[in-house]
């Protein structure tokens, strides 16, 4: 069996490729990338894989049995067609199974919902492809909160609109373990699974960050409108409201689910104590 992973120049695609290499060997894993030059040190064959270039995709997927399609970053209206290009290329190249990295979240009433809806459309396209399939719905990455530690420390607090909502965060590394299982194990076919760790509040998140980085952060709930304005000022008109919408989803309980990680991988998701202890000095 030969496996391919798209977007291997990105962080999630790279992690999935690394876990697949561990499981089936580098000779049996092919990377696809929009920008192959961005891929360093994976030790596998990397082929062209721009979601906007159907002919390249079709050529690059020749000889592939199982494909992990990593969700793109384009605005929702463009993303659906990009993912369709990958699915159609997989069909015409004779790929047997496709696994799509989708996302959890509210499909209406938040500024993140158009992104969630576009992921739901690709889920539907995946199920309708006629190929064997599996779909993972990723929890929110926890790594950005760790990368943000200096900024949180400078403010002395985490301030957002999640309130006391719980969020089932995850890590790219744990997602990679789950996607390796999903693409290599046919017993997991035809399932849509939630991939996340134990849900925690923002206050708990502040506690974990405090312990790991000897910080003294508190959590402050702010209104949705204020948080969107704050994020838009820092991140711009496209990403700012999306981030605001994600935290609105947390406050509404959209990410407060135990998830299916253990059913997929055969073991519990890494605990947050364990994860944060890797940063403690």
Ligand X SMILES: NC(=O)c1ccc[n+]([C@@H]2O[C@H](COP(=O)([O-])OP(=O)(O)OC[C@H]3O[C@@H](n4cnc5c(N)ncnc54)[C@H](OP(=O)(O)O)[C@@H]3O)[C@@H](O)[C@H]2O)c1
* Nearer to ligand X among residue 1 and residue 73 (C-beta): 73
Q: Which residues bind ligand X (CB under 6 A)?
A: 7, 9-13, 34-35, 38, 49-52, 70-73, 82, 103, 138, 140-141
Asked whether 240 and 209 are in contact (CB, 8 A), the reply is no
* Nearer to ligand X among residue 49 and residue 199 (C-beta): 49
Between the alpha carbon of residue 55 and those of residues 59, 190, 230, the distances in Å are: 6, 28, 42
User: What phi and psi, each to the nearest 5 degrees, are found at residue 263?
Assistant: -65, -30
* Nearer to ligand X among residue 139 and residue 186 (C-beta): 139
Asked whether 122 and 80 are in contact (CB, 8 A), the reply is yes
- Could you count the other beta carbons within 10 Å of the beta carbon of residue 190? 10
* Nearer to ligand X among residue 1 and residue 107 (C-beta): 107
Q: Within 13 A of 149's CA, how many CA atoms are on the CB side?
A: 18
User: What phi and psi, each to the nearest 5 degrees, are found at residue 156?
Assistant: 75, 10
* Nearer to ligand X among residue 53 and residue 220 (C-beta): 53
Least separation in angstroms between residue 223's CB and ligand X is: 23
Identify the burial level of 268 via C-beta atoms within 10 angstroms of its C-beta, where 0-12 means exposed, 13-18 middle and 19 or more buried.
exposed
Residue of closest CB approach to ligand X: 10
Asked whether 183 and 256 are in contact (CB, 8 A), the reply is no
Least separation in angstroms between residue 187's CB and ligand X is: 25
Least separation in angstroms between residue 143's CB and ligand X is: 8
Least separation in angstroms between residue 209's CB and ligand X is: 17
Least separation in angstroms between residue 214's CB and ligand X is: 26
Instruction: Report the largest interatomic distance among the alpha carbons of the chain, rounded to a whole angstrom.
Output: 55
* Nearer to ligand X among residue 95 and residue 187 (C-beta): 95
Least separation in angstroms between residue 107's CB and ligand X is: 15
């Amino acid at each position: 069996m030969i496996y391919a992973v798209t977007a291997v120049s990105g962080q999630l695609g790279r992690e999935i490729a690394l876990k697949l290499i561990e499981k089936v060997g580098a000779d049996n894993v092919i990377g696809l990338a929009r920008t192959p030059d961005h891929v360093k040190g994976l030790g596998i064959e990397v082929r062209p894989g721009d979601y906007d270039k159907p002919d390249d995709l079709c050529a690059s997927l020749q000889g592939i049995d199982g494909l992990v399609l990593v969700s793109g970053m384009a605005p929702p209206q463009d993303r659906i067609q990009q993912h369709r290009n990958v699915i159609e290329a997989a069909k015409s190249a004779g790929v047997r199974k496709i696994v799509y990295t989708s996302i959890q979240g509210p499909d209406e009433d938040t500024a993140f919902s158009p992104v969630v809806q576009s992921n739901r459309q690709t889920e539907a396209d995946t199920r309708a492809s006629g190929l064997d399939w599996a779909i993972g719905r990723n929890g929110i990455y926890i790594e950005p909160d760790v990368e943000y530690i200096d900024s949180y420390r400078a403010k002395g607090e985490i301030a957002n609109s999640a309130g006391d909502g719980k969020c089932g965060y995850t890590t790219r590394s744990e997602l990679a373990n789950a996607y390796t299982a999903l693409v290599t194990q046919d017993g997991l076919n035809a399932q849509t699974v939630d991939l996340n760790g134990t849900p925690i509040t923002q206050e708990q998140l502040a506690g974990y960050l405090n312990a790991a980085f000897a910080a003294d952060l508190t959590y402050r709930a702010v209104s949705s409108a204020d948080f969107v304005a704050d994020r838009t000022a820092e991140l711009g008109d496209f990403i700012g409201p999306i981030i605001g919408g994600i935290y609105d989803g947390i406050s509404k309980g959209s990410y407060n689910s135990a998830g299916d990680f253990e059913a997929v991988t055969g073991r519990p998701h890494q605990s947050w104590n364990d994860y944060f202890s890797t940063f403690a000095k």
